[in-house]
Chain A
Amino acid sequence: MNMYIQPEYEVVRDKDRCIACRVCERQCANLVHSFDAETGTMRADSGLCVNCHRCVCVCPTHALKIVKSDDTYKINANWDNQTINEVYRQANSGGVLLSSMGNPKDYPVFWDKMLINASQVTNPPIDPLREPMETQLWLGKRTVKIERDANGKLKNTLPPQLKLKVPIMFSAMSYGSISYNAHEALARAAEELGTFYNTGEGGLHKDFYKYGKNTIVQVASGRFGVHKEYLDAAAAIEIKMGQGAKPGIGGHLPGEKISADVSETRMIPQGVDAISPAPHHDIYSIEDLRQLVYSLKEATDYKKPVIVKIAAVHNCAAIASGIARSGADIIAIDGYRGGTGAAPTRIRDNVGIPIELALAQIDERLREEGIRDEVSVVVGGSVRSSADVVKAIALGADACYIGTAALLALGCHLCRSCHTGKCNWGIATQIPELVKRLNPDVGYKRLVNLVTAWNHEIQEMMGGMGINSVEALRGNRLMLRGIGLTDTELSVLGIKYAGESM
């Protein structure tokens, strides 16, 4: 107990509405609520509350709300409450501060500073309900040599492709960081939507091999759960070089989360911390990366595309150019707002760059070098809506990864306490009592609904622009205009300012 830290949020109970049904008490893994038998009333200890809103959502009489505490230190524009509390916390523990989910700081969101075009008079908009509107696409290398057989017929020399019915995939979230039920929901949703989910670096649970054709398996620096069958089961293989939430560092799954099942899937001892090193110890150059890319291709008979995922950092355009030349089929870039199950707070909040800027620069660099067709580009790291997807595609992406939005669909309330392992929504936990709170029958439908809804909106926006396929929107930066951006920002994004004509 740290006497210096006061509750950031307060649980407020409307005593007139509370019927003391104790549902809040039974649903809080943090033991905030308790029943006082003497008075027959409920009590709450706000000091234990993480503001996950589980109790608020399950309260049948809407008697609960959680408010930001107005308790404050003397107002100081330089030393705000949180900064002071972090000092107290470290003075108390002597440790590195840990956080979860994406960077919550007040940095600019460039998605919100770009506006989308629409057709008027001279080039009519298209009604997606009446006319074809294609959101299907393929990811992979487009460059092929034209070869003919002895009879002069064209040979199929197209490298392996991933076929997506929607320009959205679920980003890498490992079994271990999220629960079995969360993985099942993602896998089933990917199957129904005709897209892909990603195992993250935690291996593939034996129950989920049946979703293999909608699965991207990850090979990360810890090499957890990587074996021949794992690679064979997947539709594509992703080499994880970096993660947007924590560029430059590895991962650390605490031993408490290594249950028997997680241990078997990851091929590591139960209860022992799983540490992913910061670098791949066999990759110190693009040439080394090329070796791993081709090792994986060799192992899977050149039948599966290989993705290389990096965090968006200052030099990512040059790195992407190297990746495109390494033999990889797809580059995935993860922006600094991307989520995580646990990361050091200082890294999450201060390292990396916005995905919008990284994407624009990478697409431009690959075009300049004439190697854009060597790879597809997938972006993630806070794609929050269908509008963000449309803007990303117009900036040059082939498709988007969504992680946080998918978890929100499963019930996550962004309390950012994943690293405690006591997720009240059954997502970021391995405690059986909590895991069962996420019924995949319900969860997968919510994911399908979300992506279906986004896809409708993408079609509407494309139709408005008079564009009838995502392929035609890709890299079409004339469809974007900046607002509230400086000249430098406009030039990095490669777009014009609102009001400037074609």
Chain B
Amino acid sequence: MKRIYVNEKWCLGCHLCEYECAFANSGLTDMVKALKGKAIRPNIRVEDGNGVHFAVNCRHCSDPICVHSCIAGALSAEDGTVKIDGEKCVGCFTCVLVCPYGAILPSADGRIAQKCMLCLNNSCGEPNCVKHCINNAIVYEERG
């Protein structure tokens, strides 16, 4: 199963992935139009501290606790991807509480939860954070 992995050794803490994520999920084709003057709410977050940088997004766990905890049946695991259906989400945010990685967040309007869906839900078709990482710190690959 291909997964997103982050190599802390190569993460520079530039935070470019956050903006590429926000752009990918904006539904727009122009980054300036999509992001200028707006506070972004990306599904990937770079944690910084003590000279260490690490981009964190959904691990798409093989036994996802968020899916088990979802009271509305909005979260599901399919072909190794943990997906959220915004139509079904009731905004209880149990998933936000239980995710051990802090990778699920309330959406901008605060009504439903949002999470990384490997850009399968937008026009990118492949994880945009991986595509634009300037130092190959974020990779999407098969590992044993």
Instruction: Report whether chain A binds chain B.
Output: yes
Which chain A residues have a beta carbon within 8 Å of chain B's beta carbons?
16-19, 21-23, 26-27, 40, 57-58, 60-61, 63, 432-433, 436-437, 439, 441-442
Contacts of B20 in A (CB 8 A): 60
Given contacts A19-B35, A60-B20, are A26 and B13 in contact (CB under 8 A)? yes
Return 25 A-B CB contacts under 8 Å, by A number.
Answer: A16-B32, A19-B35, A19-B36, A21-B15, A21-B16, A21-B35, A23-B14, A23-B19, A26-B14, A27-B12, A58-B14, A60-B19, A60-B20, A60-B31, A60-B132, A61-B32, A432-B51, A436-B9, A436-B12, A437-B12, A437-B135, A439-B135, A439-B137, A441-B136, A442-B135
Within the complex, which residue of B9, B31, B132 is in contact with A61, where a contact is CB–CB below 8 Å?
B31
A178–B12 alpha-carbon span in the complex (Å): 19
Contacts of B23 in A (CB 8 A): 60
Given contacts A40-B37, A436-B12, A439-B135, 16 further A-B contacts (CB under 8 A): A16-B32, A18-B36, A19-B32, A19-B35, A21-B35, A23-B14, A23-B15, A23-B19, A26-B13, A27-B14, A60-B31, A433-B51, A436-B9, A436-B10, A439-B137, A442-B136
Q: In this assembly, does B120 line the interface, its C-beta being within 8 Å of a C-beta of chain A? A: no
A435–B70 alpha-carbon span in the complex (Å): 44
Q: Which residue of A lies closest to B8 (CB)?
A: A436
Total residue contacts A-B, CB cutoff 8 A: 55
State the main secondary structure of chain B at its contact with A: loop
Within the complex, which residue of B9, B31, B135, B136 is in contact with A19, where a contact is CB–CB below 8 Å?
B31
Q: In this assembly, does B134 line the interface, its C-beta being within 8 Å of a C-beta of chain A? A: yes
Contacts of A63 in B (CB 8 A): 32
Are B51 and A19 in touch, CB under 8 angstroms?
A: no
Contacts of A19 in B (CB 8 A): 19, 31-32, 35-37
Q: Which chain B residues numbered 1 to 44 have a C-beta less than 8 Å away from chain A? A: 9-10, 12-16, 18-20, 23, 31-32, 35-37
Are A58 and B134 in touch, CB under 8 angstroms?
A: yes
Chain B CB count within 10 A is highest, among A18, A21, A27, for A21
Contacts of A432 in B (CB 8 A): 51
State the main secondary structure of chain A at its contact with B: loop
Contacts of A58 in B (CB 8 A): 14, 16, 134
Query: How many residues from B make CB contacts under 8 Å with A?
Result: 22
Within the complex, which residue of A17, A26, A442 is in contact with B32, where a contact is CB–CB below 8 Å?
A17
A183–B51 alpha-carbon span in the complex (Å): 23
A32–B137 alpha-carbon span in the complex (Å): 25
- Say how far B99's CB is from chain A's closest CB, in angstroms: 26
A347–B109 alpha-carbon span in the complex (Å): 64
A472–B106 alpha-carbon span in the complex (Å): 70
- Say how far B129's CB is from chain A's closest CB, in angstroms: 12
- Say how far A355's CB is from chain B's closest CB, in angstroms: 35
- Say how far A354's CB is from chain B's closest CB, in angstroms: 37
Contacts of B16 in A (CB 8 A): 21, 23, 58, 60
A-B pairs, 7 with minimum CB distance = A19-B35, A21-B19, A439-B135, A439-B10, A19-B36, A23-B14, A26-B14
- Say how far B29's CB is from chain A's closest CB, in angstroms: 13
Are B136 and A22 in touch, CB under 8 angstroms?
A: no
Are A26 and B51 in touch, CB under 8 angstroms?
A: no
